[in-house]
Amino acid sequence: MDKDEIREMIWDVMEEKDIALFPRPVLGRIPNFKGADVAAKRVEELESWREARFVKCNPDSPQRPLREMALQSGKTIYMAVPRLREEKCFIRVDPNYIESPRKASTIRGAFKYGRAVHPREMNPVDMVVAGSVAVNRSGGRVGKGGGYSDLEYALGREFGIVDEDTPILTTVHAVQVVDVDIPMVEHDVPIDFIVTRSEVIECERREKPNGILWERLDEGKLRSIPVLGSVNSRKD
């Protein structure tokens, strides 16, 4: 199966089995799922999570409970601006400057209580949380198809925000853990930990991309993502 086929399979199954939560339909989304809050609590079993002070987290609905939990425990989170459309393309949410972890864990709340920052202003993060449509136990991941999660990671490598050893975690429903090969190319970022409501899966360590693969960026992305110019100016 290719990635598009895997996405379609998971979106269909989650709708048919009534696993999905708002927003629906899940087509084209990182799907929210029943038990996302329970999966978030299970993440606390990981020592690397408990020790993390700075976490880069995706802004999607299924990971909102995890963002709330991070803020409650005093972690600073970074969320990407949708489609990286601003040069200051991340929102820093500091738990010391928020009214409520629950409110600040939403996209709207992050923009209200957080501060837009350029990657050069970010602290190195201790963990990356990624949203997923599907994963397998060897660390393969399928996102919703835009490529932004992988590009955010690549930017992190370029600016020293993440390195090869920074753990990458995702929370998913059990049906999203597939027993098929997931095609992974050189710019795809593998997962280190998969957490469902019933288990924590530690994946085999796989090599991660060490920066932006410019030849794989289409002209549309090069024109629409201002921060890429900052990367080029650092290399000149």
In this prediction, residues 199-211 reach a mean pLDDT of 94
Q: Is the pLDDT of residue 234 over 60?
A: no
**Encoded amino acid at 101, one letter:** P
Query: Strand 76-80 to strand 90-93: parallel, antiparallel, or no bridges (unpaired)?
Result: antiparallel
pLDDT band at 182 (very low <50, low <70, confident <90, very high): very high
In this prediction, residues 120-126 reach a mean pLDDT of 98
Residue 191: per-residue pLDDT: 98
Q: Is residue 29 part of a domain?
A: no
Average pLDDT, the chain: 95
Q: Is residue 22 part of a domain?
A: no
The model's pLDDT over 16-27, given as tens digits with 9 standing for 90+, comes to: 999 999 999 999
Q: Is residue 46 part of a domain?
A: yes
Alpha-carbon torsion 151, 153, 156, 160, what sign? negative
CATH assignment at residue 204? 3.40.50.10420
Residue 222: per-residue pLDDT: 85
H or E stretch at 65: helix 64-72
Q: Is residue 73 part of a domain?
A: yes
* Between 59 and 222, residue with greater pLDDT: 59
Are the C-beta atoms of residues 130 and 149 closer than 8 Å to each other? yes
What residues contact residue 235 under an 8 Å CB cut-off, 6+ apart? none
In this prediction, residues 60-89 reach a mean pLDDT of 96
How many domains does one find in the chain?
A: 1
Domain with 43, as residue range(s), is: 34-223
Percentage, residues of the chain above pLDDT 70: 98
The answer to whether the pTM exceeds 0.85 is yes
The model's pLDDT over 35-51, given as tens digits with 9 standing for 90+, comes to: 999 999 999 999 999 99
Q: Is residue 232 part of a domain?
A: no
CB-count exposure of residue 87 (10 Å: 0-12, 13-18, 19+):
middle
The model's pLDDT over 130-171, given as tens digits with 9 standing for 90+, comes to: 999 999 999 999 999 988 999 999 999 999 999 999 999 999
String of b and e for 103-130 (b: at least 16 CB within 10 Å)?
A: ebbbeebbbebbeebebeebeebbbbbb
- 90 is written with which tokens? 């991340």
Q: Is residue 198 part of a domain?
A: yes
Q: Is residue 3 part of a domain?
A: no
Q: Is residue 105 part of a domain?
A: yes
**Gap between the Cα atoms of 60 and 105, Å rounded:** 10
